Amino acid sequence: MNTIADTIYREKYRLSFLDTTLRSASVTMKITKVDESGSKYIKSPYLSATSTTIQAIAGTYSINAWTTNDDGLTVTDEFMNAIHVFDWNDTLSDFNVYSDLMRDQNMSVIQAVDKWVLNNLCEDGTGAYTTPNGGFTTASNIQTIIANLLSRVAGFSEVFNGTYLVIEQTDIVGFILSGASSGFNFSDSVLNNGFMSNFMGVDIYVVQTGTFADATTTSASGTKTWTNLAHRVFGIKGLTTFAYPQGVKMEEKSVSGKTGKEVVIYGYLGFKVWTPRATLTVDITIA
């Protein structure tokens, strides 16, 4: 690809490649509502619930106060991936080397953003569930866990968005063993194809071990604090918002006194579990 020698084509290739990879590989893009406008503050006030009284016919009623509560998402964090590539011309002369560089940077950004959003989901969701002993790695627990999680969100109209469960890679052992012994058609599919991405109607997403973690304003958590070691998350898709103002940006810079170029990928991000629906995001603790 001779066009990678031209900056404008590199930018188009890099940003297109990153956007495509984000949408196909990122868990965040699949389970949240993504806002890519330029807004760094999203306002969403909500109203207090009203109540209906049933009583003997009397023609009288009592008045309850009806209030508006402020709620909003503020973008306070940014992501950065910056490297210096020496012998820039040599890198550009081999497309495979250049594409590997892009792939490594892209996957680093995706994993960092997913980790940030998933831990904030656990931290801000007010639904809670503790698994039976052994968690997801014990095959006999899987159906019980999924059934209990579904019971947390059943009856809400929002359930039609579909449900999700995010686990770490070491958890899939229980799913494979449980699936291989669950009914003829499903067990045949598991035996032939291995891990299935949907179980009992719940979409299952797998992330790397160590994604759910404890952190206090680190380079992984930004301004946030998490206490999510041995946690996982379940909920209804599209009820939380991931703010991604104007998408991802990229810059190439020449540096005085050094060959090659600095390459930086950056962007801004914010996240919100909206208060009226916070119980529909369930923080799972592994027993």
Q: Report the pLDDT value the prediction gives residue 157, as an integer from 0 to 100.
A: 67
- Evaluate whether 28 touches 118 at the Cβ level (below 8 Å): yes
Among all chains, which residue has been given the structure tokens 């494979």?
Answer: 176
Q: Which ranges in 125-171 belong to alpha helices (H)? A: 142-153
Q: For the stretch 178-197, what's the b/e string if a residue is b when 16 or more beta carbons lie within 10 angstroms of its beta carbon?
A: bbbebeeebeeebeeeeebe
Structural domain total, the chain? 1
Q: Report the pLDDT value the prediction gives residue 4, as an integer from 0 to 100.
A: 61
- pLDDT tens string 228-279: 999 999 999 999 999 988 878 888 888 888 888 888 889 899 999 999 899 9
Q: Report the pLDDT value the prediction gives residue 104, as an integer from 0 to 100.
A: 84
Residue 199 placed within a domain: yes
Give the range of the structural domain holding residue 151, as residue numbers without chain letter. 2-46+70-285
Q: Which residues of the chain have pLDDT under 50?
A: 1, 184, 188, 190-194
Task: Name the DSSP class of 171.
Answer: G
| Residue 197 to residue 175: CA distance in whole angstroms | 10
Sign, CA torsion 82/269/213/222: positive
Q: Report the pLDDT value the prediction gives residue 259, as an integer from 0 to 100.
A: 84
Element counts in the chain: helices (H) and strands (E): 7, 17
Q: Report the pLDDT value the prediction gives residue 192, as an integer from 0 to 100.
A: 45
CATH number at residue 158: 3.90.1690
- pLDDT tens string 188-202: 454 444 456 788 889
For the chain, the distance separating the N- and C-terminal CA atoms, rounded to the nearest angstrom, is 52
Residue 65 placed within a domain: no
Q: Report the pLDDT value the prediction gives residue 190, as an integer from 0 to 100.
A: 47
Residue 19 placed within a domain: yes
CA 109, chain centre distance (Å): 13
> By 3-state DSSP, what share of the chain in percent is helix, strand and coil, each rounded to 5?
40, 30, 35
Taking the model in full, what pTM does it have? 0.84
Tally of CA atoms within 13 A in the half-sphere of 245 that contains its CB: 18
CA R_g for the chain: 23
- Evaluate whether 249 touches 67 at the Cβ level (below 8 Å): no
- Cα separations in angstroms, 32 against 55, 86, 159, 178, 268: 42, 38, 14, 28, 16
User: For residue 259, how many other CB atoms are within 10 A of its CB?
Assistant: 13
Q: Report the pLDDT value the prediction gives residue 263, as an integer from 0 to 100.
A: 85
Token pair of 143, please? Answer: 């159906």
- Evaluate whether 124 touches 281 at the Cβ level (below 8 Å): yes
| Residue 22 to residue 16: CA distance in whole angstroms | 10
